[in-house]
Amino acid sequence: MKIHDAYMRPLDNLRVVVTVECSYRCIFCHIEGESVEGPVKPGSLKPLLTPEDYYIVARAAEIIGISKIKFTGGEPLIRRDILDIIKAFREGAPTLELSMTTNGYLLEKLASKLSENGLARVNVSIHSLRSEVYKFITGVDGLQRAIAGLREASDAGLGLKINMVVLKGVNEHEVWDLLDLAHRLDATLQLIELHPVGLGARFFNKYYYPLAEIEKKLLEVGAKVVRRSLHNRPVYILPSGERVEIVKPYGNPIFCMGCQRIRLGPFGDLWPCLNWKGPRPNMLPGIRKGSIEDRIISAIETFLRVNMLRRPYFLPRIRDGKHSESLERSIKLSRLQPPKKRVYERYLEELRRQLQYKGIL
């Protein structure tokens, strides 16, 4: 089963925000779109979703065709049951690819156990190789621990990406140094443009650095370009084999038209876009009532509801010489609205029959 939104974009990717707590205070943090004012101090909030809840989420995600899970936060390694959460996803949906975004501070001790429990890849945020700049960006003197975590993850057999948010006047001159580190660890360097979401909105005008400048330099040294289906992201492959992935979300319709993801928050709510401001469907009540089958169906229903809300945040312009209108206006709003309740009930009844017939439930 594979579902698409009104713009024919597949739903393939789920980011799971397991906590809003973090020991870092990065100056651009957006907490994956959460409304909290920056990251929350560790130990401040009790997690709402348990590994048992995540097992139901995993079963439902696999049924509707999601193939990739990314654990994030806050800092996901702060959760003491993070290994149990990963294990729950692996047992609930063996075919899913499990990865994680982390600041790396706790990674050295946990890398091998993460791999043993089913994690395939980690993205580690290293925004500078200068300790004073790293501390300025993150609020923590943790560069050496993060690099040690990277090396331990490599030894544990985890696939590696190094995330670097490029900031004007702060670290843009370190891209090539980070690329060298990535090459030595057989990692991909992922360069991310600052975008005005969360704390990043405060400093956007001051620190925004367009990655087009770096892309030009990559081409000048002979890089070839391929594109990922996710966000239509360009990946530059240098003659020496290094890979540089470019993430340019701000004001970029091409990026938005390639979006295949939704987010599950730490309180059970789902939202269709990092920039989404409307109400969010919540799956927590439904995945704790009734039989296992009832809980999975409820989770599927919530996934379908949030999929109805998915739409590109930045839309391309249509120009015919005389008129200019957004693609948004050319599509009837009725296509973007959730179906009426009775239609949903009929659909879910038929979905249950089909899943039972195929032996999935």
Q: How many CB atoms lie within 10 A of CB 161?
A: 19
Predicted local distance difference test score (pLDDT) of residue 37: 63
pLDDT digit string, tens, across residues 274-333: 889 899 999 999 999 999 999 999 999 999 999 999 999 988 765 554 444 544 444 444
Cβ atoms of residues 36 and 269 within 8 Å: no
Q: Which amino acid is at 42?
A: P
Residues 6+ apart with CB under 8 A from 254: 232, 316
> Is the pLDDT assigned to residue 133 strictly greater than 90?
yes
User: How far, in Å, CA of 232 to CA of 193, rounded?
Assistant: 15
Q: Which is more confidently placed, 105 or 361?
A: 105
CB 136 within 8 A of CB 170: yes
Cα–Cα distance between 334 and 122 in angstroms, integer? 40
- The pLDDT of residue 334 is 38
CATH class for domain 1-156+253-361? Answer: alpha beta
Pairing of β 188-193 and β 324-326 = unpaired
Q: Report the DSSP beta bridge partners of residue 352.
A: none
The pLDDT, as a whole number, for residue 199 is 81
Q: How confident is the model over 57-69, as a mean pLDDT?
A: 97
Identify the CA nearest to 28 among candidates 102, 126, 137, 127.
137
Judged by average pLDDT, the poorest of 3-12, 241-250, 339-348 is 339-348
pLDDT of residue 201: 83
Which helix (H) or strand (E) segment holds residue 143: the answer is helix 143-155
**Across all residues in the chain, what is the average pLDDT?**
89
Answer yes or no: is pLDDT of 361 > 80: no
Structure tokens given for 143:
């560069």
Min mean pLDDT across 11-15, 34-38, 65-69, 238-242 is at 34-38
- Token pair for residue 105? 């501070």
Q: Which of 21-30, 79-88, 194-203, 345-354 has the lowest mean pLDDT?
A: 345-354
> Within 10 A of 312 (CB to CB), how many other CB atoms are there?
20
Helix 292-308 and helix 341-357: axis angle, to 10°?
Answer: 130
Stretch 82-103: mean pLDDT? 97
Q: Residues 43-66, buried b or exposed e (16+ Cβ, 10 A)?
A: eeeebebebebbbbbbbbbbbbeb
Q: Which residues pair with residue 97 across a beta bridge?
A: 68
Residue spans per domain, the chain: 1-156+253-361
Half-sphere exposure for 131 (CA within 13 Å, toward CB): 4
φ, ψ of residue 360 in degrees (nearest 5): -75, -35
pLDDT digits (tens, 9 = 90+) for 190-237: 999 998 888 888 889 999 999 999 999 999 999 999 999 999 999 999
Backbone angles phi, psi at 344, to 5 degrees: -60, -45
For the whole prediction, is pTM greater than 0.75?
Answer: yes
Residues whose CB is less than 8 angstroms from the CB of residue 96 and which lie 6 or more positions away in sequence, other chains included: 58, 61, 62, 66, 67, 68, 69, 89, 90
Query: How far is the C-alpha of 133 from the C-alpha of 2, rounded, in Å?
Result: 44
* Range 20-30 average pLDDT: 91
- pLDDT surpasses 90 at 40: no
For residue 262, the surrounding DSSP H or E stretch is: strand 261-264
Residue carrying the six token digits 């659909």: 347
